[in-house]
Amino acid sequence: MNEVIGIIIAAILCWLNFVIVDTYFGLPEQPGVRGAGIIGRDVEKRGGDIAGGFFQGNILCSPDASAGTLMASIGYLLLGIPGGIIAAFLVFIGNRLCADPGYAGTTGSLTATAIIFICSFIGMTPEMFIVGMVIAILTIQGIDQVRASVLLGKIAEKFNRHA
């Protein structure tokens, strides 16, 4: 598969994977740690959505499905499917060190491993998923935090997880 097309598809898949898993496990509902709450209220002060702000603060302060997807891609590149499962284990340890129960991180890693395995049959490589995940995190945290938080707040309302 053409690399550029593959990276675009991988970015969309990674974005859907980590946003759906993180929203389902309640990241927009409440800040897990104090830093996440401060980031969320700051984003709200700049005109964003409080639930989207809590989401952004939570994925910044502890390894959730976003970090899980990235680490599963790297583990799959190096070690195959067992690498993805090792990534889930390491994300779980990191979660517990960051005062987070860790449901979102481990689930995100395992679903990302499954997605990469399924997509390998249509010729997509784990490298494309690493690049795609970096692009996906950039759209949430990097380009325009306020508008991203509004979008995340709408998604949280759909899942009935708004703050």
Partner 1 sequence: MFDLLYNTVSVASNGNFYGLVNIGISGFDILLAYIVAIICSIIVALILRLPLLPSKPYRYSFDVSAIYPTPIIAIGILSLFLVLNYTFMYNGLVLAVIIGVLSALFVKYLFDFVFPKPLSEDNGEDINE
Print burial letters for 129-154: b (CB count within 10 Å at least 16), e (below 16): bbbbbebbbeebeeeebeebbbbbbe
Over the window 19 to 38, marking each residue x when it contacts partner 1 by CB under 8 A and - when it does not, the resulting string is ------xx---x---x----
Q: Binding partner 1 by CB under 8 A: which of 50, 86, 128, 163?
A: 86
Cα 151 to the center of its chain, rounded Å: 15
Over the window 87 to 106, marking each residue x when it contacts partner 1 by CB under 8 A and - when it does not, the resulting string is -xxx-xx--xx-x-xxx--x
CA gap 154, 75 in Å, rounded: 32
CA gap 40, 129 in Å, rounded: 28
Q: Binding partner 1 by CB under 8 A: which of 5, 12, 16, 78?
A: 78
Binding site for partner 1 (CB under 8 A): 25-26, 30, 34, 76-83, 85-86, 88-90, 92-93, 96-97, 99, 101-103, 106, 117, 120, 125-127
